[in-house]
Amino acid sequence: MEKPFYITTAIDYTNAPPHIGHAYEKILGDVMARDRRARGREVVYLIGVDQHGQKVQQSAARAGVRPEVFAQDVTAKFLDLWKRLDIAYDRWAETTAPQHTECVRAILNQLHQKGKIYKARHGGYYSVRQEQFLTEKDRGADGSFSPDWGEVVFLEEENYYFRLTEFKDWLVGFLEAHRESVLPAFRWTELRNAVERLTGDLCISRPKSRLAWGIELPFDPEFVTYVWFDALINYISFAGYTSHPVDFERLWPADYQVIGKDILAPAHGIYWLIMLRALDFPDERMPRLLVHGYINLRGDKISKSAGNTVDPAELVGKYGAEALRYYLMREAVTGQDMEFSEDRLVARHNSDLANGLGNLLNRTLGMAKRYRQGVLKKPADSPLAAPAAEAVSRHRAAFDRCEPHAALEAAAAFVAHCNGFIEESAPWKLAKDPAQAERLDAVSMAWPNRSASSPRSMRPRSHRLRSRSVSN
Ligand code: ME8
């Protein structure tokens, strides 16, 4: 039996409410999941939130509440947005859930017992924002650390380390033999280069004196687990790795792990793949990483720390979920950055959905009612059958390449073809001539059988949208 299509996205930090970059990623995963479901495949789509770590602890402290309260509060905002955006996920990951924390602790114990985790003292410069020690290579030409690292402090402390470097040769060999494991191809190259630069092991603990908001190490209660080591495990903990091994065997590996370009290297492409390898996952059970670009605003990445966020919930309120989903999927080329523009959102909706698809449905339904009292005969030979079949096959091929924008382009081209067909065949003239009755049956069936349907989320609104300025 074919394994379920298992697709995941990054789990979002609960240090601030969601922005449109988060929305884009979850919509991308959602349309991929819906495509496979529509083709009859069993799908498991996992999304969730990353609730531990320094960023959440700091935001909670600023707000004057406990981290768990703060994390739950922001989690509720993410859940609310996914509902408004009609994200049809099957499983929800919260890293404070016992199913997850128990799995993380079991994995830590296993790796500790296997000698893959050791304790050592280290002194160095530490980026509070990125929650990592920096090396000499992270200094700029003038010797200073780039502002991208945020606040940098000198720290000396004992910690636990995961033997990343022991697996470097394996990772190189794996990537060379499996170029398909990172999409698009140029991201594979980027990861391959980053692996070349891998020189140190990964610090996977934080002393509780500095950071208390995390999963306690099972073998040393003075420490909590580094947030990335904790968070990455969600992809297997919520697939049942320790809680439902039979379920896990069916699901894993993930067919696609959808992530942004900032968390390919080192997080997913190095830490995660090596963590799996250290847990004895063979090469054929490694996941495939699908790396998307950024949604930018006036050329800059939209981010919580940059403070230039666009609130997706506000956009849904103004334009509806379908308009926003369609715009992002139609205009973002998977892997590339995209400039967000509210005017483009409105223009896309009006041209493709209202004028194109909406108009076609309206005319077709109107004709069916007016000329045939709503009862249609299936024509023996529809002139639209061949273009419909072609649109469906282009649509499928595009989804197989993880390119929803190209799939929607195929659907929109077919809609335009159908509208052209109606113009040309002028059913309003045929209706006046009884000799043309059979031809009118065929034309009234302009919208052919369901195999040519576009994604479920593309329900057109009957009205046109007008742009209003959005505060951002
Ligand atoms: O990185 N455009 O969380 P996060 C497109 N918790 N995507 C964007 C974006 C933008 N402007 N800004 C962020 C984390 N993203 C970790 C992940 S996974 C085990 C742990 C994407 O909330 C980003 O690339 O900072 C990432 O894939 C996701 O949103 C979550 O970002």
pLDDT tens digits along 166-184: 999 999 999 999 999 999 9
Report which ligand 1 atom has the smallest distance to the Cα of 22: 29
Report which ligand 1 atom has the smallest distance to the Cα of 259: 27
Cα-to-centroid distance, 460 and ligand 1 (Å): 30
Q: How confident is the model at residue 135 (pLDDT cuts 50, 70, 90)?
A: confident
Which residues, including other chains, have CB under 8 Å from residue 315's CB and lie 6 or more apart? Answer: 20, 324, 342, 345, 470
Token digits of residue 390? 């072609």
Report which ligand 1 atom has the smallest distance to the Cα of 293: 5
- DSSP labels, 289-323: EEEE--EEETTEEP-TTTT----HHHHHHHH-HHH
- Please indicate whether residue 269, judged by its CB atom, sits closer than 6 Å to ligand 1: no
Residue nearest to atom 31 of ligand 1 (CA): 12
Asked if residues 302 and 20 have their Cβ atoms less than 8 Å apart, the reply is: yes
Whether pLDDT at 447 is above 50: no
Residue nearest to atom 8 of ligand 1 (CA): 21
Span 360-366, average pLDDT: 92
Q: What is the pLDDT of residue 352?
A: 96
Higher-confidence residue of 52 and 372: namely 52
Residue nearest to atom 18 of ligand 1 (CA): 10
Q: What is the pLDDT of residue 463?
A: 54
Token digits of residue 386? 């061949």
Best mutation site among 8, 12, 228 for ligand 1, i.e. most ligand atoms within 8 A of its Cβ?
A: 12
Give the integer Cα–Cα distance in Å for 408 and 118: 51
- Please indicate whether residue 17, judged by its CB atom, sits closer than 6 Å to ligand 1: no
Cα-to-centroid distance, 257 and ligand 1 (Å): 13
Cα-to-centroid distance, 324 and ligand 1 (Å): 19
- Please indicate whether residue 304, judged by its CB atom, sits closer than 6 Å to ligand 1: no
| Closest listed residue to residue 354, CA positions, set 419, 273, 424, 262 | 419
With pLDDT > 70 as the criterion, what percentage of the chain qualifies?
Answer: 94
Whether pLDDT at 471 is above 60: no
Its pTM surpasses 0.75? yes
Span 118-134, average pLDDT: 87
Q: How confident is the model at residue 460 (pLDDT cuts 50, 70, 90)?
A: very low
pLDDT tens digits along 299-322: 888 877 777 788 999 999 999 999
Whether pLDDT at 29 is above 50: yes
Span 337-361, average pLDDT: 96
- Please indicate whether residue 24, judged by its CB atom, sits closer than 6 Å to ligand 1: yes
- Please indicate whether residue 201, judged by its CB atom, sits closer than 6 Å to ligand 1: no
Cα-to-centroid distance, 10 and ligand 1 (Å): 6
Q: What is the pLDDT of residue 450?
A: 40
Instruction: Give domain 352-458's CATH architecture.
Output: Orthogonal Bundle (1.10)
- Please indicate whether residue 291, judged by its CB atom, sits closer than 6 Å to ligand 1: no
The structure tokens 């609730």 sit at: 51
Whether pLDDT at 456 is above 50: no
- As a whole number, the mean pLDDT across the chain is 92
Phi, psi of 121 (to 5 degrees): -100, 140
Task: Map out the domains of the chain as residue ranges.
Answer: 352-458
Report which ligand 1 atom has the smallest distance to the Cα of 232: 19
pLDDT tens digits along 399-431: 999 999 999 999 999 999 999 999 998 888 888
Cα-to-centroid distance, 247 and ligand 1 (Å): 28
Cα-to-centroid distance, 35 and ligand 1 (Å): 23
Q: How confident is the model at residue 462 (pLDDT cuts 50, 70, 90)?
A: very low
Token digits of residue 393? 């096959």
| DSSP one-letter code for 196 | H
Phi, psi of 438 (to 5 degrees): -65, -40
